[in-house]
Structure 1
Amino acid sequence: MWHSLQDEIGAFIGHPFHITERRLHQTGPRWQSYIIGDGQLRLYVKLSELTFAEQLHAEAFCLAELSRFGPLRTPEVVCGGATTGFAYLVMEYLPFSAPSRRGWQRLGEGLAALHQRQDQAMYGFDEDNFIGNTPQPNPWHKHWYRFFTEQRLAYQLSLLAEKGQGLDDSDHLLDCAVKLLKHHQPTPSLLHGDLWRGNVGFINDQPVIYDPGSYYGDREADIAMTELFGRFDPDFYAAYDDTLPLDESYESRRDLYNLYHLINHANLFGGTYLLEVKEAASQLLGRFGQR
């Protein structure tokens, strides 16, 4: 396997790459990651079974789109594909360090600059991708409320129902989402899509974002997720708001956007996440729904 991979890398970089260093970095249900090197160049490699090749392709596509617009650094993709029974994605190796105050500020400034990349008139993406291990459909829509209710909430709720854990209030919840978003038509922004602390790194004062699930949508959805699993540093929010202030009504939509991620976690992991989904749905219906 490693001989095949080093030949693939060599073909892409234009000169032989002979692995002299190989260190397991992380292992999980979908893939293993390694740090490899040839004495001069170090690379970060994700390896998976062929069944996950589509996910690695989607990750590479999202990274390329985010990199194309440039305000925030992403790992450079060296190559990706499939060979001899496994799929792979090879990226530059980035040695992360502890975040600094300036690093958090630059993340806020850079994300605001990314969100100002508003060259799409519709919501969606050129390719479907994944949020974690869950497919994320991205067909283009003219109206944000339809995209979010149909391609985000309704899709995740249908997956939950297929597991026999559907919510009794699913229809009311979708009606609530329409009520909240029907007159909210933000300019489509390019989003990271899965922006929690585990998908952000720092090299001294330079922030790096990775593992995206990108699409064009409401920029508030990215900000909302930074608050879901523990808020980012206050300097991040201050810098973002100085560059691109949030609408005063943002908080009324934040919990709805984060419900999407909670339902996804319930679909992926079950357990207490299902309880969190029910609680969050009940609160939204209590505040905005018509029972």
Structure 2
Amino acid sequence: MDTFVKERAHAPDQFFEAEAAGLRWLAEAESSGGARTVRVVDVAPGRIELERIHEARPARDQALAFGRALAITHDAGSVTFGAPPTGHSGPLYIGSREMPAGTAATWGAFYAPNRVLPFLDPALTAGNLREEEAVVVREACALLEAGALDDGEPPARIHGDLWAGNVMWSADGVVLIDPAAHGGHRETDLAMLALFGAPHLESILEGYQQVHPLRSGWSARIPAHQLHPLAVHAAGHGRSYGVELTAAARRTLALAEC
């Protein structure tokens, strides 16, 4: 197997171990038809060795197949919202930022305090979010934490950082890399694909719904599920993300008025 190594001399505690655990957890669903996940060859503090994926041009038929496979991975489930990959008891990360490892029995009670609010203070400190905007985001989080968008869906086994750069297209189909895997809501992964413009997104969604039809109104809820990645980016990637985060929070608040 052709492999490559990622190394980081001063990696945070269990940084690559968390990535390996997430990849292996997602890969457990492959035997049932779940999404293909890059193979972990070896992991140690400060380094991870992975299967090398040779990229190819995205294709519609692969997008359809990936959508179907992603639904199966999500359906593999998790013990609760926020649960880490099986066997991993250390910190969780999205990119280079640590994520809280809190759990809850309902999605909103997990999502708002563990995936959105922790990134507001860093975004404020960086100057990418203004105080009056943070008020709007906190109002949206209070709405979610109170259960306004809870729907009875069981926790899904989500990738957690499913932007287009973590969806690799190969001659053999799509391969997932670099997860922030945990028990979450299936719509969060789909919202992140939409946020950063995955190739053939309409076909991915078509394939997904062939396996697991989405609940009515899912597209209107996209802004609520984009609060997490937008908050993460507002913490370190520029003022524009603070503006987008606030806009998504306002659209989330508007859902309660419908």
Q: TM-score, normalised by structure 1?
A: 0.76
By how many angstroms is 1:116 displaced? 1.2
- Normalized per residue, which structure has more strand? 1
Q: In the alignment, is residue 50 of structure 1 matched against residue 13 of structure 2? A: no
CA 1:158–1:177 in structure 2 vs 1: closer, same or farther (change >3 Å)? farther
RMSD, matched Cα: 2.1
Aligned-partner residue type, residue 74 of structure 2 = H
Q: In the alignment, is residue 210 of structure 1 matched against residue 210 of structure 2? A: no
- Asked if structure 2 preserves the Cα contact closer than 8 Å seen for 1:173 and 1:281, the reply is yes
Residue range with higher mean Cα deviation, 182-191 or 255-264: 182-191
Q: Which residue of 2 aligns with 1:272?
A: 240
Q: Which residue of 2 aligns with 1:255?
A: 223
Q: Secondary structure at the match of 1:89?
A: strand
Q: Which residue of 1 aligns with 2:192?
A: 225
CA distance in 1, matches of 2:155, 2:251: 28
Cα deviations across residues 115-135 of structure 1 (Å, max 9, x unaligned)?
111352x21223431111211
Q: In the alignment, is residue 141 of structure 1 matched against residue 104 of structure 2? A: yes
> How many positions carry a matched residue from both structures?
244
Q: Which residue of 1 aligns with 2:82?
A: 124
CA distance in 2, matches of 1:280, 1:104: 27
Q: Secondary structure at the match of 2:232?
A: helix
CA distance in 1, matches of 2:156, 2:254: 30
Q: Secondary structure at the match of 1:216?
A: strand
CA distance in 1, matches of 2:123, 2:190: 25
Largest Rg, 1 or 2: 1
CA distance in 1, matches of 2:27, 2:11: 26
CA 1:89–1:249 in structure 2 vs 1: closer, same or farther (change >3 Å)? same
CA 1:258–1:183 in structure 2 vs 1: closer, same or farther (change >3 Å)? closer
CA distance in 2, matches of 1:280, 1:267: 16
Q: Which residue of 2 aligns with 1:100?
A: 59
**Map of 1:178-193 to 2, 5 A cutoff?**
178=145, 181=148, 183-193=150-160
- Asked if structure 2 preserves the Cα contact closer than 8 Å seen for 1:63 and 1:75, the reply is yes
CA distance in 2, matches of 1:185, 1:152: 19
Residue range with higher mean Cα deviation, 161-170 or 258-267: 161-170
Aligned-partner residue type, residue 206 of structure 2 = A
CA 1:154–1:119 in structure 2 vs 1: closer, same or farther (change >3 Å)? closer
Structure 2: gaps of 5 or more residues: none
Aligned-partner residue type, residue 205 of structure 2 = Y
- Asked if structure 1 preserves the Cα contact closer than 8 Å seen for 2:221 and 2:252, the reply is no
By how many angstroms is 1:254 displaced? 1.3
Q: Which residue of 1 aligns with 2:249?
A: 281
CA 1:119–1:194 in structure 2 vs 1: closer, same or farther (change >3 Å)? closer
Q: Which residue of 2 aligns with 1:67?
A: 27
Q: Which residue of 1 aligns with 2:73?
A: 114
Aligned-partner residue type, residue 102 of structure 2 = P
Q: Secondary structure at the match of 1:194?
A: coil
- Asked if structure 1 preserves the Cα contact closer than 8 Å seen for 2:66 and 2:174, the reply is yes
CA distance in 2, matches of 1:45, 1:238: 35
Cα deviations across residues 76-100 of structure 1 (Å, max 9, x unaligned)?
1111214xxxx21111112121122
Cα deviations across residues 44-72 of structure 1 (Å, max 9, x unaligned)?
11011223453222111101111122122
Cα deviations across residues 100-151 of structure 1 (Å, max 9, x unaligned)?
222111100100111111352x212234311112111222211211001111
CA distance in 2, matches of 1:224, 1:180: 19
CA distance in 1, matches of 2:9, 2:73: 33
CA 1:110–1:183 in structure 2 vs 1: closer, same or farther (change >3 Å)? closer
- Asked if structure 2 preserves the Cα contact closer than 8 Å seen for 1:100 and 1:205, the reply is no
- Asked if structure 2 preserves the Cα contact closer than 8 Å seen for 1:180 and 1:253, the reply is no
Q: TM-score, normalised by structure 2?
A: 0.86
Structure 1: gaps of 5 or more residues: 1-40
